[in-house]
Amino acid sequence: MDAGITVSERAARRIGEILKTEPAGTMLRVSVEGGGCSGFQYKFGMATAKAEDDVVIARDGATVLIDPVSVQYMAGSEIDFVEDLIGAAFKVKNPKATASCGCGTSFAL
């Protein structure tokens, strides 16, 4: 079950570029943690092992892992990659978020 979580084409392309520089079998792990200025924050990191209960989202050679607790907070979200004047970053477009901070990495439910 992926709870309707998707990875945009831009994000998949950028994840693929990043993973090319990592050891074979490396995947991107996205999780939700308490903290940040709005209550919860997204965490992005590399993983070489998949947990048995991870949700796996694969697109265009990019593999994203999300733990079951984080999936509950991210249901219906899109993981995107945006570039603007401030810089480039992964952004999660989360329909469950009722508020977010200016940097876009923390949110409230």
The pLDDT tens digits for 22-63 are: 999 999 999 998 876 667 888 999 999 999 999 999 999 899
Tell me, yes or no, whether 37 lies in a domain.
Answer: yes
Tell me, yes or no, whether 1 lies in a domain.
Answer: no
**How far apart are the C-alpha atoms of 11 and 5, rounded to whole Å?**
13
Structure tokens at 53: 């209960």
Tell me, yes or no, whether 82 lies in a domain.
Answer: yes
Number of domains in the chain: 1
> What pLDDT sits at residue 38?
64
Tell me, yes or no, whether 26 lies in a domain.
Answer: yes
- In the chain, which ranges are E strands? 6-7, 27-34, 40-47, 55-59, 62-66, 78-84, 87-93, 99-100, 106-108
The β-bridge relationship of strands 55-59 and 40-47 is: unpaired
**Segments forming the whole domain that contains residue 22:** 6-103
83 touches 12 (CB < 8 A)? no
CATH of the domain at 18: 2.60.300.12
The pLDDT confidence band at residue 70, using thresholds 50, 70 and 90, is very high
Tell me, yes or no, whether 86 lies in a domain.
Answer: yes
